[in-house]
Structure 1
Amino acid sequence: MTTAFTPPVDPALLERLHEDLEARATGERAPDLHYRTLDTPVGRLLVVASEAGVARVAFEREGEDAVLRSLADRIGPRILRSPKRLDPAARWFDAYFAGARDPFPEPIDTRLARGFRLEVLGHLRTVPYGHRISYAALAAETSSPKAVRAVGTACATNPLPLVIPCHRVTRSDGTVGAYLGGPETKVRLLALEATGTLPD
């Protein structure tokens, strides 16, 4: 009986081939989505971008594979790991967790939100660093000022947490409320923006 010979895999060669693929994946050959992961003080983040801009930021608890499958269904199935393409976004996240106050400077793609939810995301982008707003006060700024529950849903389904700062929305009684990354993460982000230091 003969067995097939499998040559050893050179990781450096594979990385070079992937970098070449990434460099060539432009224009008509561009994938629908590029992604990379980041290790951050609040856990691993998945950052996904289309040619239009960053379209999704996902916390580890959401499940990387599940998020990518959902994006393949909703945006397009051609997805490529492209760390270098997302270096500018990665630098912003690093700076944010180090206490930088600058809003996200890169283009964003908001196609995953529509209608009233998209309107809420637009208002969320105006909430300054270090400030909090209640769900009721945020609703009052929208075209449906009594739609407090719908505002909560828009925050809970925000496809771009941190980039669009839904963590700055809290309940009227001062409690933090729900958060896609978990309430403990929301508390830490609010503390970071209040003190400039992320608590353990």
Structure 2
Amino acid sequence: MVRRGGQRFEITPAILLKAYACGIFPMAESADDPRIFWIDPTERGILPLDQFHLSRSLRKTIRRQPFEIRIDTAFPAVVDACAEPAPGRTQTWINSQIRALYLELFREGFAHSVEAWEGVHLVGGLYGVSLGAAFFGESMFSRRTDASKITLAYLCDRLRRGGYQLLDTQFLTEHLASFGAIEIPRDDYQLLLEDAVAADATFHPSGAGTAESVLQSFSQTS
């Protein structure tokens, strides 16, 4: 991880998009720390969309459709839920400026959320940034068993159908590795990123958004 110094100028949504196109992303030390640091990992986590692993148990859960999956209906609420301290974690990397930047990217069509709803309750979800045919996953949360896992599966189905070439997970965790995520060197990531950002994709492809489409997409990758 490389920190490129504290925040010393106003970051705009345009600057943030340029940063993503260069392979760096922002983080804060905590919600109360106004500084923003640019992160450029030497090893980058990605989830190859043609290698996404859908376990047999999660396949059964998706078939039951325990949640209603929505797209972009509660982006601010998803960001806020992701900023809440998780079990075993007392800090969050999302401060007020980072939150404001992503909300602006959402208003401009460059950020999206995938949400799991249980009635009127938002119980899981994720959000990220879309640029060309690259999607940069930022964070996810879950308030019900498998809620975030299901939204990840719906995201990957949508990206595959929409022509995306790269799903960036920033770092590799054991949780993401169980879905097929891997680490690659920075130089290899930069090559993938350059091609993906220059290509076209759509976050709203036809055929996406149903349990059937998710199960069909990954019938050969489990």
Which category of TM-score, normalised to the shorter sequence, fits these structures?
under 0.3
Q: RCO greater where, 1 or 2, for CA within 8 Å and sep 6 or more?
A: 2
TM-score, length-scaled by structure 2: 0.25
Structure with larger Rg: 1
TM-score, length-scaled by structure 1: 0.27
Q: Which has the higher strand share?
A: 2
Q: Which has the higher helix share?
A: 1
